[in-house]
Amino acid sequence: MLKSGLPRVLLALVCATVLSGCQSVSSTTQFYRPATAQVYPSKPKDYDVPIFAKTPDRPYTVIGRLRFTANSGYNFMIRAIQYNTRVHGGDAAIMLHEDTEQRPYNYYVPGYTSYFPVTTYSAGVANTKYCGPDGPGRRTDYGTSTSTTYLPVFNPGYMSVGMLTLHSIDASIIRYK
């Protein structure tokens, strides 16, 4: 069996990538700041939350603010605004500011040992002397043999630079008067 540290390294990288992108919108409620002491009932899950780029024409009251930065993508940010608006009883949201920033980051891939199979084949003649029930004897046999040995190969680790895309939002959660 081929033994290698590479699958473990790849699995760790995949898990790190997946987990960093699998943030739940419900986790963003920690970034909501109420603007009033009044608590409003939540809206149903199927309530369609409008997000305005400028103030709406209808009279409204700001009931809270949602502001945070994440590397989960623009669609996640929009879903987070909609989720927080529904949970906190808002009717709509006003996007005050949004920004996207590229940031370099260093990462390290550790070294690992993999094993390279080396198979040897041999064939030859064997002469044997033996002493059996009928007395001493001699026998000649032809044989083949196969043997596989796994040689360790060290793959050194390395440092590299990746780019992280951060999305920032700042939105007011409003309720119509």
Residue 62's CATH number: 3.30.110
| Containing structural domain, residue 52 | 23-105+160-176
84 phi, psi to nearest 5 deg: -65, -35
Residue 16 included in any domain: no
Q: 101 forms bridges with which residues in the sheet?
A: 166
Is 51 in the same domain as 131? Answer: no
Q: Please, are residues 35 and 171 in contact by the beta-carbon 8 Å criterion? A: no
Alpha helices, DSSP H only, in the chain?
6-21, 74-87
Render pLDDT for 118-165 as a digit per residue (tens, 0 to 9).
999 988 887 788 777 877 878 888 888 899 999 999 999 999 999 999
pLDDT at 126: 78
**Whether residue 95 is found in the same domain as residue 59:** yes
Give me the pLDDT at residue 19, please: 41
* pLDDT number for residue 3: 47
- 65's tokens: 């603010």
The band of 62, judged by pLDDT with boundaries at 50, 70 and 90, is: very high
Q: Is residue 68 included in any domain, yes or no?
A: yes
> Are residues 58 and 95 located together in one domain of the fold?
yes
Report the alpha-carbon distance of residue 149 to residue 126 in Å, rounded.
Answer: 24
pTM for the model stands at 0.61
pLDDT of residue 134: 78
Please report whether residue 62 resides in a domain.
yes
Question: 74 to each of 25, 36, 84, 85, 93, how far by Cα in Å?
Answer: 12, 28, 16, 17, 16
Rounded to whole angstroms, the Cα distance separating 153 from 116 reads 7
In a domain, 172, yes or no: yes
Residue 115 has pLDDT above 80, yes or no: yes
> Residue 94 in contact with residue 55, Cβ under 8 Å?
yes
Q: Would you say 136 and 129 are in contact if contact means Cβ atoms under 8 Å apart?
A: yes
The sign one gets for the Cα dihedral 130, 134, 140, 143 is negative
What is the number of structural domains in the chain? 2
